[in-house]
Amino acid sequence: MKQDNCIFCKIANGEIPSRTVYEDEDFRAILDLGPATKGHTLILPKDHAADLYELPEDVAAKVLPVAKKVAALLKEKLGCQGLNLVQNNGELAGQTVMHFHLHVIPRYENDGQKILWNPTQPDGAELDEVLAKLR
């Protein structure tokens, strides 16, 4: 199902042209217009889901195989030496387009980008408290 006024629905379904690097029945993978690095690709499901929480399980199960294809392409054709998969959910986490997408970001020596987070140093008790909530 498409959602009116969703730009990624329009792109994924070909209503708005895009630089498509891969397409199948369920997904379109396109070059990001504001790439972090050369070849930064977005994998878009053709059916609308705002984020990971809304993404149906069967579609979720198909995303990583597509990411593997795109990753192989980026390595083979652009010679990247590393790769980040990034997937933002919610404004707080940096999501700006509310249609699920997986970023595939090839990494190169001296590409000017960083590792995503700064590690913190909780003690064991804090980690155990989190674990108790999650189990």
Which of 113/129 has CB closer to ligand 5GP? 113
Contact between 6 and ligand 5GP by CB under 6 A: the answer reads no
What residue 9 binds from ligand 5GP, Zn ion, none (CB within 5 to 8 A, per partner kind)?
Zn ion
Assess 33 for contact with ligand 5GP (CB under 6 A): yes
Residue 6 interface partner, choices ligand 5GP, Zn ion, none, CB cut-off 5-8 Å depending on type? Zn ion
Q: Residue 7 interacts with ligand 5GP (CB under 6 A)?
A: yes
Secondary structure string (H, E, C) spanning the chain: CCCCCCHHHHHHCCCCCCCEEEECCCEEEEECCCCCCCCCEEEEECCCCCCCCCCCHHHHHHHHHHHHHHHHHHHHHHCCCEEEEECCCCHHHCCCCCCCCEEEEEECCCCCCCCCCCCCCCCHHHHHHHHHHHC
Q: Would residue 48 show up in a list of annotated catalytic residues for this protein?
A: no
Per CB under 6 A, 118 contacts ligand 5GP: no
What is the smallest separation between the CB atom of 124 and ligand 5GP, expressed in angstroms? 33
Residues that bind Zn ion (CB under 5 A): 3, 6, 8-9, 48, 99
